[in-house]
Amino acid sequence: MITSEFSRPIALDRIGLKEKSYEISADEKERAALAKRLGIPAVNSFDATIRLRLTGGGGLVRLSGHIKAELTQTCVVTLEPIPTSVEEDFTRVYSVEAGDEMAEVVVEMDEDDVPDPIENGHIDMGEAAAEHLALAMDPFPRSAGAAFESPEEPPEEPEEKPSAFAGLAALQKKE
């Protein structure tokens, strides 16, 4: 199992049919490591509320989360650092036997969704939150008023077509 920068594993046997809620926050070291992973100047704060419960007859675990982060990203136009905020809800489903055959299980899932695997009897709540943060960030952040300016193109000159009489004029000059 790969350890993430913001790891908060929970054992499967601690998850029951009754939903449990967890408040998790990244400390300074975790935020610096997350910023490096995300390729941004800084993660100033990162908090998540994670709710877990067994579902689908106990064969699946539903993770519902809410993330809130204050970031420093780089403007794609000016390359200046800009503060950005991310706040979103997300849901994931996990299964001990995740795979294509599990796609047939109906548990409020899209047709194409396949449950994530539960590895070594644990679900990493922090990694789920960090992955969703990466997806929720603005991929092309811009400072207020920043816009790409296209270089001015010279006006197109009409293509000169030779006159039908140009050939005759050239013959006349030879005489």
pLDDT of residue 96: 76
pLDDT of residue 75: 92
Q: Any idea which residue has 């092309």 for tokens? A: 140
Closest listed residue to residue 53, CA positions, set 61, 45, 41 = 61
Closest listed residue to residue 59, CA positions, set 9, 109, 7 = 109
Q: How far is CA 115 from the centre of its chain?
A: 19
Closest listed residue to residue 132, CA positions, set 72, 63, 60 = 63
What distance in Å separates the CA atoms of residue 159 and residue 156, rounded to the nearest whole number?
9
Measured CA distances, 12 to 35, 54, 122, 153 (Å): 29, 9, 5, 62
pLDDT of residue 168: 65
pLDDT of residue 58: 67
pLDDT of residue 103: 41
Q: What is the pTM of this model?
A: 0.73
- H helices of the chain, where? 28-38, 125-136, 166-174
What distance in Å separates the CA atoms of residue 17 and residue 175, rounded to the nearest whole number?
105
Closest listed residue to residue 30, CA positions, set 2, 67, 5, 4 = 5
pLDDT of residue 167: 66
The series of mean pLDDT values per 10 residues for the chain, 175 residues long, is: 81 91 97 96 97 85 97 93 96 75 46 78 95 95 75 68 67 66
What distance in Å separates the CA atoms of residue 106 and residue 89, rounded to the nearest whole number?
21
